[in-house]
Chains A and B, each alone.
Chain A
Amino acid sequence: MAEATAPKPSSSVKLVLLGEAAVGKSSLVLRFVNNDFQENKEPTIGAAFLTQKCNLPTRTIKFEIWDTAGQERFASLAPMYYRNAQSALVVYDLTKPTSLIKARHWVAELQRQASPGIVIALVGNKLDLTNDPSTSSNALGEDGDGEAADGEDADGDARKVSTAEAKSYAEEEGLLFFETSAKLGTNVTEVFTAIANAIPETSLKGARGPGATSGSTGRTEDQSRVNLTGPRDNASKEGCAC
C-alpha cells in the first residue's frame, strides 16, 4: 500500500495504542503493518515503535505507531508515548467487560492530558470470538484462545460487550468507533484509514508537530449527555487494586 506515492503530499502522524493487557493492541498493529497474525502472542514489554504508510486519495499519511504494553506497571510511562500524539487507538476486548472500563480510563486520561486535538478511536477487538453475522460465521471454533474463551459458552458467542453500549459511549465522547478482528483482519485497515481521514489538515504541517487545532472531528456532539458510566468506573478501580 506504500508504493507510488510520489506526487502526493506526505506527512507523519504519531499514533499511540492504549488499552488493557491482552486485548490485542500488538495484534492490531501487526495486522496493519505486516498483515500478519500470531496466536498466543507474548505480552509486549515496554513499548514497540513501528511505522506504516496509509494512502489516502489526496495525501499519504505515515503513521508512527507506539504500541504500548498494557500491564499496570507500565501505565506511568504512558504519558511519554501519548504526549504530542495526534491520534490514539484505545482498544478493549469485546469479550471482557473490564477491558472497556479500562478503555474509558484511557480515554479520560487522553482527554485530560494529551494534545487537545487528539483523534481517538475506540476499538473493540476479538470480533472473531463472537458469532456476529459481520464476520465469517465459523470464525471462532479452531483455537479460541485462553483468556477470551474463558468460562463461555455454549453457542460459541463470547461477546460480553454489546455494540450498542460501546457505540453510544463512543458517540458521547466523540470517538471514532470500530469493532475489529486482528485475527481475521476485519476492519483493521478501516480503523487506521478512518483515523488518517480524521486528522485535520492543519495539524499535518510538521512531521511530529502537536496537533493543535480547532474543534476536532465529532468532538462536539452530545457533550451534554449525562455520563452514565461514572459508578462503574469506580467499581473497576476497586477491582484493579485487588
Chain B
Amino acid sequence: MGTSPDFSSASTHFHDRVYAADDTTPTVQATSKNGTSDSMTGNRGKDASKRAGDTRPATSSSAGTTGDHDEEEEQRPPLPPRPSLLQADLPSAPSASTMRPALQAKPTTAISSVDIQTLSFPDGTRGTFSTPASRTVSEAVSISAISGGQSTPSRKGRNGSDIDDATSLMSYAPTLRANGDLASLLDEGLSSQSPAWKLLSTQAETVNPFEKVDYEDLSLVDFDHEFDEIEAVDQKGGNEEELLLQWKSKLKHYLILSSAGKPIYSRHGDQNLINGYIGIIQTIISFFQGSKDPLMGFTAGKTRFVVSTDGPLYFVAISRIGESDAQLRSQLEALYMQILSTLTLPTLTHLFTNRPNTDLRRPLEGTETLLSSLADTFTKGSPSALLSALECLKIRKSQRHVINNTLLKARTEKLLYGLIVAGGRLVSVVRPKRHSLHPSDLQLIFNMLFEAGSVKAGGGENWIPVCLPGFNNRGYLYMYVSFLSAFDDGGDLDERPSTAHSTSREDEIAILLISADKESFFELKQMRDDLVKQLEKNGSMEIIKTAVRQGRPSATDIVPGTQLKHFLYKSRANVQFTMPSFSPHFSNLLARRRLMTLYHNLHASTHAKHSHLKVLHCVSRDSISLAWTTPVFEFYCVAGPNASRAGLAQGANKVIQWVKREEERVFIIGGAVF
C-alpha cells in the first residue's frame, strides 16, 4: 500500500482531472521505486543520460521549452514511475502486467473525475478525455509501473503523463543532477504544448500555486470587485441599468425571501434593484413546491442556483465560483442559523403563523451586516466553514491546562460557557459536562465578533442576547464580550482597546462569557476582571499574546523544505482543524479564493456520495494537490504545479506526523469541564 499519490496519474493540461486511489497511506515510495526501475532499465538509463548530455547545450538556453522533434523517437530516459491517462494511445500498456510485482498497491478501484471549473482550460482538441475514469486510472497504474524505463515507440498522445513527469522532474533540472531529466524535457509532449505551458514549465519547483494568472480562466476575473457595494437605485431610477450590470457581474449572490415572496435579504443590490428577481425566484420555487417536488437547484450557463427551504423562508445561493451543491447548501444553512440566532425559532414561526406575509426585514433590522459578513466569509472562502470545524491557538499543553484551570477557578455560578478566543482562534473553553459547543454556533459567534465588527467597533464591554440554535433554538442566551488587544502590553486592565487604531481580527483577544440569565452582566464582568487579573498574574496572558503575535507558522516552518504551500488538517474527533499561514503565497484575496476553490473541489470530491475516497490527487496547470481522508482526519494540501507528487505525498506525511506530535497543542482536547 501507500503508493497511491505516486500512482495517481498525470492530467492533461487542458482538462483537469482528479483521480483517486482507494488507498489509505500515501507513503512515499518514489525513491525506492525509482531505484527499482532504474536498475531494471539500467542500460536505457545510461543511454538516456548520454543523449541528454548531448542535447544539453540546446536545452540550457531554451530551458527545455523547445523540444527537438527528433528526440521523440529516441528512447526515454529513466523516469520515476508515472502513470499516463491515455491508455488508448499506449499499445505497450498491456505488457505492464509483467511488471506488476513492483507495485506496492493494487490498481485503484475508486475513482472520481472532477472538472474543476476555475482551474480548467477548455480547449476544443484536448478537453475531450471523457473516457471512463476508472478504466483510465487502473491503466494508469499499470503503466506507471513500467514507465521508468519504457521506451514507447509512439509518443503521440502521451503528453499527459510526459508533461507531468517533465514538470515534476523539472525541479531537478537546474542542478543537472539527473541527465535523464534533461532529456525528458525535450520530449515531444512538452513541445506540443501551448506557449503558456512552456513558459510555466521553464520554472523550477519554486512556482507557487496559482502564481500565473490564467487568462483562459475568467471565472474569477472580477473577484477584486466582488465585495464592492452597489449603490442604491436613485429616485428616478436613472442609474438602474448600470447598477443591474454591476449586480449581474457579482460572482456570488445570496437571496433570502419569505414563501409569500417578500424579500428579506440580498447580499448585493438594494430592494428596488432586486425586487423583480425576487418575484421570479419565488414563482419558480413555489411552482415546484406546489407540485410536491421541491426544487433543489438548477444550472444556467456557468451559474449554479441552489435553493433551500426552511419553514416559511426560502434561501437561494447563486454561485459562479464552482462550489458544490452541498457546500452551497451548508452556507445557506448558516444564514438560516444566523436568522434563528437573531429571532429564535418560536418567534420566527409565530411571526409567520400570525401573518404569512410578514416583512421580516424589520425584526431583522441591523443584522444585515451579520448576514453579509457571513456571506462574504463564504465567498472569500473560509476553511472553518468548509470543514465545519474550529481552529485553535497553538500553545503548549501545560499552558492550556493552566488557562483552563484559571477559567474554572474564576467561574461564577451563572456561567454557562466561557471562551477565550484569540485572533479568531479558540484558546480555551469552559463548559458544563452535559453540553458541548456546537461548531455552527461558534461560527455565528465568531462571525459576529471578528468579521462583522459591530461589536468590536463600539469598544467597551458588550452584553448581547443571542440564540445559539445548535444549543437551543428556542431561547436566548446572554453573552458578555470584552476585547483585549494582543499589542497593548501590560497596562491598565480597565483600559478598553482603543478604537482609534482599530486592530485587525488577527490580534484581538476576546473573552466571551455566556449565561442564560440576562441580569448577570455584572457578575460576568466581575468574573472577567478576575480572570484577566489571574491570567496576567500567572503569565498566561503573555503566552496568549505572544502566540497571537506570532501568527500561524508557514508550511515550511512546520515541515522544513517541504514543497507544500498550504494545507488543511481536520481532526474529525475534535471537530477542529489546523492550517499554516496564508501568507506569503495566498495573502491576497484572489490567490486565497483560488486556493479555497481548490480545497472546495477536493472536499466536494471526497465528500461526494458513494465516492468512498481515501486519497485523491488533483493535478492542474497551476497546482497539484492532494486530499486524504481517514476515520481520524481529513487532510488537504497543495503545492506548486511543478512540484513532484512524491514531494507532495512526503510533505503530507510529514504534516500528519507533525500534527500527531503536536496534537495537544494545535487542538483543544476535552477542554475545561465543570
Q: Which residues of A contact B (CB under 8 A)?
A: 21, 26, 29-30, 33-34, 36, 38, 41-51, 65, 67, 69-74, 77, 80, 146, 151, 242
Contacts and interface: CB of A to CB of B under 8 A. Distances in A.
Contacts, number: 94
B448 interface: yes
Given A45-B367, A46-B464, A46-B478, 6 more contacts: A34-B500, A38-B457, A43-B365, A46-B479, A73-B342, A77-B465
Given A21-B366, A72-B365, A49 B461 contact: yes
B42 interface: no
A47 B522 CA distance: 13
Contacts of B457: 38, 41-42
B306 to A, nearest CB: 28
Nearest to B448: A45
Nearest to B232: A146
B237 interface: no
A45 B460 contact: no
Contacts of A67: 458, 460
B453 interface: yes
A66 to B, nearest CB: 8
Contact of A44 (B232, B343, B363, B454): B454
A77 B518 contact: yes
Contact of B365 (A21, A33, A38, A146): A21
B314 interface: no
B496 interface: yes
A15 to B, nearest CB: 13
A72 B362 contact: yes
Interface residues of B, number: 38
B222 interface: no
**Most chain B beta-carbon contacts within 10 A, residue among A45, A46, A47, A72:** A45
Contact of A42 (B363, B454, B494): B454
Given A36-B500, A38-B499, A45-B366, A30 B458 contact: yes
Nearest to A240: B362
A146 B343 CA distance: 26
A73 B363 contact: yes
B359 interface: yes
A48 B363 contact: no
Contact of B460 (A50, A73, A74): A50
A69 B458 CA distance: 11
A50 to B, nearest CB: 4
A242 B448 CA distance: 28
A72 B363 contact: yes
Contacts of A38: 457, 499
A69 B342 CA distance: 13
A81 to B, nearest CB: 9
A3 B499 CA distance: 21
A151 B235 contact: yes
Contacts of A73: 342-343, 363, 365
Contacts of B461: 48-50
B369 interface: yes
**Most chain B beta-carbon contacts within 10 A, residue among A41, A48, A70, A151:** A48
Interface in B459-482: 459-466, 478-479
B586 interface: no
Interface string B472-512: 00000011000000000000001010111000000000000
B369 to A, nearest CB: 5
